Structure 1
Amino acid sequence: MSPRTGIRRIGFGCARITPSLPHLKALTAAIRHGIRVFDTAPNYGHAGASERAVGQALATHFQGTNDLDRDDITICSKFGYYRPVEGHAPGPDSVPVGNKEEGGLYYSLHPEVMEHELKGSLARLQVDALDILYVHNPEHVLADIVLRHETGEKSFSDDVSLQAALREEKQKMRERLVHTFEALEGVVGSGRVRKGYGVSSNGFALSSKEGLHLSLAMVLDAAAEGARRAGKETASLKAIQLPLNLLEPGGVMVAAQAREKGLEVFANRPLTAVSQGGLYRLVNKAALSGEPPGGYMEACRTALEVFNPTSLFEGRAEKELTEEELETREGCRIIQDLIRDMNRQLTSFTSTETYTQELERRIIPMIASTFESLDEDAADALQAFFVKYGEMVRYHAAMRAVEACKAAGHVLGGGGGKAGEPLHEYALRWSLDKVPRQLSGVLVGMPSEEYVHEAVRVASTERGGES
């Protein structure tokens, strides 16, 4: 246990948690197994679903047993990304995140937004105070300028102008952070955040050459200035959070530097890596047998046959077909082309998440716009194809994750990890071995009781090293 904040070696990363029964059972199992750090955010899930789940699970446990009280738990949340209250304009200094039509998400570092989000977090978590409140990815204020450069907008004709623009925007970001940190000093002083504030940033793990890199030195300097403006001798900055995994090891040095400065340091995404433009799940359960799942080619052939436009109206001349039948025949051709395209894409997915995004954004809308309804045989054939396709995606994504780890220099056995252990166990041990020198703890996503049991087992059998 950390001597200053009670943060243990493994924590519960709640990004994928909702108040559903399986997730509540996972949270309860984590508490029962001794996990005491819970990290969430208002933008995790719809309408603060993750925070509501954590609040519900903890409140139920506190009411039902005397073996645990509020001081035993470290509750962390964040602010930065938010959705404006319906009917109200976005808060000060807000910038849209992605496509506004896809959810109305905004980003702001402004103290007014922070205060509003903190109030909502406390209500959803059913507590009077957080332990740590993180500024969530402050480098997001630079995202628009980097995106405009990457998409070739005329605003930036060369790297020199981009770097000049970034320097100017980073200076503005620093001033915003100073203003925010000053306000956070007041929040900590009020008791609504008990142990201090922090910064959770993907930018900490990036090279200084990257546009979205966030400098730890700059954050420390801004925190010190914010404290001075608030009339305090020392800053209440107590923790940072950054991604650290087999394919994103760049944060190790930053983590060590932060530890030397007396900060708590948490690694997130130990099993989910963003590398070379792809999202990798460092889990290879789908590929442990070494053989791809069966039945895919049969399901593919069946679907192609069911949607065969030639056999559908065999023996009839085109001029004999009604307008509706012609549309049906064209729809069948579209579905066949879709199936063939998907088959060509099969090995390109680095994770099931990227496939799910493709399914939701392109494939399902395409099918819906092609056919108003499907008969039972066609619907069954298409459903069977998608089930088998999903299994194949999981298999190939797992194999790609293993190959990416090998390419990054990790010596893996047949099962993924050393001596044949599963890749997710090897990956989690790799992160846990950074405790306590570089890390205070590792935040693990555990959306089911099975995940909790596996993470606890790995953490219990491999004590923190000094690597």
Structure 2
Amino acid sequence: MLRNNTVTLQARDVLALGGHKWSQMEPARYQELVQAALQQGVTTLEAGQDGGEAALLQAYQHAQMHQLTGTDRPNNQAVTVLTRVGYRTIAPPRGEADVVASASQNDDAVRSTTHSPATFFLPLDIHVEDIPAPESTDPKAATKSQVVHNVGKEYLQKAIRASPLLNTTTPHDLRIVPLLHNPEVQVILMQDKSPEQRQNRLKERLQDAFLALEEQIQAGTIASYGIASNGLGLPSTHPLHLDYRTILQAAAHVRDTLGHAVRLSVVQIPANVLETNGLAVARDLHAAVSADPDLLPHLELHCMRPLTCYPDAGTGTGHPFVVADYQIPATMEKKLSWTNEMTAPPELYDVALKSALQHFDAEEILQAKQDGIELSADQRETLDGCKLLQSLLHDVDVGLDNLRSFRAHEHDLYQKIIPLIHDTFESYDDETARVLQSFFAAYSMAVRYAIARNTRKLLQHGENHGKRTKEVPVYEDLPPTTRLQEFGLDFVLKAKVFDKLVVGCRQPDQILDDLDIVQRFLDGKLNVMEEKDTQDQSTTDQ
């Protein structure tokens, strides 16, 4: 564990590249991200879901082909690829009526649909949610896809067999470690049961999953396995809470069954400045593993989401936000500044907003109307459209005061703002297109400033801006000179319980920046430890 490690650590030993943002990038950008991590000696990469395994494999092979994997890995250490298993989407049947059948004999089994072999249900599938499916011309076809969750043996065998990372062309220096993703979802339909009943069910599921994964290790398919659970960070009163002791009990059962130590090597726990329960869980788990070192001798604790916070602790559809400052041009000279150094939105945004409002003021049409000239149908439509656009611009400007989530911003942008513009104007001239393009380019910078500023306010003052709340911790002494990502990573590192921090990045420069932050912490930590050791030795000598 990091806190007991007497070896000089490097940032590359602590930082892992997360994979949850891979689908938001162009393939070339994602390859650059993976290459930057590998060149810096990072040896743990997390594959994203829904195609992320294939994307990571392609990026890794591209880096190898162009000799961009770096040469400073300690002892030619293999790259560990973490890939999550548990959720999958079942497409609706096409060309046939739904036939409802039971997916298993358990009382909490999802009701399944019998259809083509390409999309099938399995025993122990648990229904999570329905999502819209592509339009179908078949009136008998279902209109929704189903998201299901499973950690059973049959599912794990199929998921591992189908993984692009596990085939004959996979590079030999990749260690594949599947993580059981949110195993607590297996009791989502047991919210009327007692906590003890839910934990017992989870223990049974984990025991079966561990045994199935141990078989895969024995067969040489995977290197080890782990757990990535939001439930570990939830309070014990939450129906989706996963007790760390349940994991230990399942591991002990499997050890006794197999006669050797369980090869569970990773447990990922969410922890950050606003979701602090995971820190206490990590400490307790670390203490329990240390007390029985033969149970999980190779276990690493990973901090997932150290800079990404969820209002609902990751249990629902709440939009996450990131604890980070950003570099944007503060002035018209376009010199980049960090948002924590700025006291107002970028000057370019104010200019673009004024230009857009002026462009849509419909001054000529209003003057004609004031002069008593009867407006044509086109003029009336243009006037109404301009009023609507001005109102929209005003609303998005005011909305910056409360914006703190890129995901929420993107949702509004693509689901509300852009459709409204297209619905308002069937077409527009080149000047209007230029004005809108300039505004939204500047608006994206203002969004970054607003998100960083509002997140800092949340950290310093709580939800009610000035009033302490029980819901979130408050950090009144957060220095304005400290960037949010420095504060967030330092906060988690100071806990001294995590072996790795799994951080998602959008740009290669972010990897370098995060590595620098971690390295500065480690260097300072090393100096403090050396000074303390010297003092302790002096006391002993006296």
Q: Name the counterpart of 1:252.
A: 279
Of the three residues 133, 140, 147, the one matched with 1:106 is 147
CA contact (8 A) 1:96 1:104 kept: no
CA contact (8 A) 1:139 1:213 kept: yes
Structure 2 CA distance, aligned partners of 1:220 and 1:181? 11
Of the three residues 291, 294, 299, the one matched with 2:352 is 299
1:186 to 215, 219, 222: 215
Change (3 A) 1:207 1:111: same
Q: Output the CA distance in 1 between the equivalents of 2:34 and 2:61.
A: 10
What does residue 24 of structure 1 align with?
31
Match of 1:393 in 2: 447
**1:455 maps to 2:523:** no
Structure 2's unaligned 5+ residue stretches are 93-115, 135-143, 290-295, 313-317, 326-337, 462-472, 530-542
**Contact kept in structure 2, 1:39 and 1:76, CA below 8 Å:** yes
Q: Is the aligned partner of 1:371 residue 2:413?
A: no
1:239 equivalent in alignment to 2:266: yes
1:33 to 33, 40, 44: 40
Superposed CA deviations along residues 386-438 of structure 1, whole A, max 9, x for unmatched, are 223222221121112112222423354543xxxx2322112212222334xx1
Distance 1:113-1:332 versus aligned 2 partners, 3 A rule: farther
Query: Which runs of 5 or more structure 1 residues have no equivalent in the other structure?
Result: 147-161
Identity of aligned residues (%): 23
SS of the residue 1:362 aligns to: helix
- Which whole-Å CA distance do the structure 1 matches of 2:192 and 2:373 have between them? 61
Amino acid in structure 1 at the alignment position of 2:121: G
Q: Matched residue of 1:8: which SS?
A: helix
Which residues in structure 2 correspond to 1:207-222 (within 5 Å)? Answer: 207-222=235-250
Distance 2:449 2:493 in 1: 26
Instruction: Specify the alignment match of 2:538 in structure 1.
Output: none
* Aligned-pair CA distance for 1:85: 8.0
Equivalent pair of 2:20/2:49 in contact (CA under 8 Å): no
| 2:157 is the counterpart of 1:115 | yes
1:289 maps to a residue whose letter is M
Partners of 1:65 and 1:404 in 2: how far apart?
A: 40
Q: Distance in 1 between matches of 2:427 and 2:506?
A: 34
Q: Which residue of 2 aligns with 1:351?
A: 405
Cα deviation, 1:37-86, whole Å, max 9, x if unaligned, reads 1122433xx56464335533564377987766875322211112234589
Q: Counterpart of 2:86?
A: 80
Residues 14 and 50, structure 1, Cα contact 8 Å, conserved in 2: no
Number of positions where the alignment pairs a residue of Structure 1 with one of Structure 2: 437
- 2:376 corresponds to which letter in structure 1? L
Q: Secondary structure at the match of 1:199?
A: strand
**1:274 & 1:329 partners in 2: Cα distance?**
42
Q: CA deviation at 1:116?
A: 3.1
Whole-Å separation in 2 of the counterparts to 1:370 and 1:141: 46
> Quick one: which of 277, 280, 285 aligns to 2:321?
280
AA in 2 matched with 1:206:
L
Q: TM-score, normalised on structure 2?
A: 0.70
Q: Are positions 1:51 and 2:56 aligned together?
A: yes
Note if 1:15 corresponds to 2:20: yes
Deviations 1:118-146 (A, max 9, x none): 23241589346744210112233456x69
Aligned positions of 1:185-204 closer than 5 A: 185-194=214-223, 196-204=224-232
Per the alignment, residue 95 of structure 1 pairs with 127
Q: CA RMSD in A?
A: 3.6
Distance 1:94 1:373, change over 3 A: farther
Deviations 1:186-211 (A, max 9, x none): 112212111x2111011111111223
Query: Which moves more between the two structures, 398-407 or 134-143?
Result: 134-143
Pairwise mapping of residues 414-425 of structure 1 onto structure 2 (< 5 A)? 414-415=479-480, 420-425=481-486
The answer to whether 1:289 aligns with 2:342 is: yes
| Distance verdict in 2 for CA 1:126–1:172, change over 3 Å | same
Deviation at 1:449, TM superposition (A): 2.6
* TM-score, normalising length: structure 1: 0.80
Q: Identify the structure with the greater helix proportion.
A: 1
